[in-house]
């Protein structure tokens, strides 16, 4: 039985477990199973893999997306540039497993964004500068879309929310939220800026997918902006993991 799993801590709820369990049932894949494998420290992964020779692939979530990197044999180009790994392929080469790290978030974001882009989406505002923003920045660079990072507290190479005005929103017509604002259970939180200056020319993307329409998206939709949540990105990155594990 080929085994796949999710490492992170804590693992109270998991999209991945539900997604792959349903996939295996629906597609009648009977020789695979997916497990939640909570580990507090990234170095515990080495022992985990050694004890489970049936493990063929792992998804990686908070807080280990950076911490697992030193324990990998190889890391793919995108994951290296992003500086975060959320998918690991495990290949048995002799007695020692060979571990290669990937970042499927970038793939999921890119493939869900590209069909929505129009000629006016030449510049982007990225809300937040945490881990999730890394994959977004990578994709925008690949698509040659210049961006500005927007944060709450002053940092280098970023602007504050208070700097967003009508003139800026007229220039930057792609807005991407990478913060957890608006995510369950904090449904009423959202990035604060003058939404009244959004127009039907704007594309507003929220990496949050639970709920499906955050306050951020609802306020943008009121102004006629095109909106997109992170659900398709999530499904695409999961399918990309499956592709990597089987290629």
Catalytic: 80? Answer: no
Contact 83, 240 (CB under 8 A): no
Place of tokens 């893999």: 49
Kindly report the backbone phi and psi dihedral angles of residue 236, in degrees, each rounded to the nearest multiple of 5, phi listed first: -65, -40
Sequence-separated (6 or more) residues with CB below 8 Å from residue 56: 2, 3, 4, 89, 90, 245
Sign, CA dihedral 119-122-127-133, equals positive
Contact 166, 194 (CB under 8 A): yes
Pick the catalytic residue from 65, 100, 173, 219: 65
Positions marked catalytic: 65
């Amino acid at each position: 039985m080929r085994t796949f799993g999710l490492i992170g801590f804590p693992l109270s709820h998991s999209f991945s477990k539900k997604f792959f369990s349903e996939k295996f049932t629906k597609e009648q894949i009977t020789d695979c199973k997916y497990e939640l494998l909570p580990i507090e420290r990234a170095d515990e992964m080495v022992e985990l893999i050694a004890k489970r020779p049936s493990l063929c692939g792992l998804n990686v979530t908070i807080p280990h997306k950076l911490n697992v990197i030193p324990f990998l044999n190889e890391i793919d180009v995108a994951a290296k540039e992003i500086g975060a790994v959320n998918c690991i392929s495990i290949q048995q080469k002799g007695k020692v497993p060979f571990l290669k790290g990937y970042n499927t978030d970038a793939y999921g974001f890119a493939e869900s964004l590209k069909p929505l882009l129009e000629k006016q989406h030449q510049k982007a505002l990225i809300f937040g500068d945490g881990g999730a923003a890394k994959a977004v920045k990578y994709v925008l660079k690949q698509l040659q879309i210049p961006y500005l990072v927007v944060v709450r507290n002053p940092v280098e190479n970023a602007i504050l929310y208070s700097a967003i005005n009508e003139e800026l929103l007229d220039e930057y017509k792609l807005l991407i939220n990478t913060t957890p604002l608006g995510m369950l259970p904090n449904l009423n939180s959202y990035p604060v800026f003058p939404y009244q200056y959004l127009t039907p020319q704007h594309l507003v993307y929220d990496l949050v997918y639970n709920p499906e329409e955050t306050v951020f998206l609802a306020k943008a939709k009121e102004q006629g902006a095109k909106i997109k949540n992170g659900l398709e990105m999530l499904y695409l990155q999961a399918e990309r993991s499956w592709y990597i594990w089987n290629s």
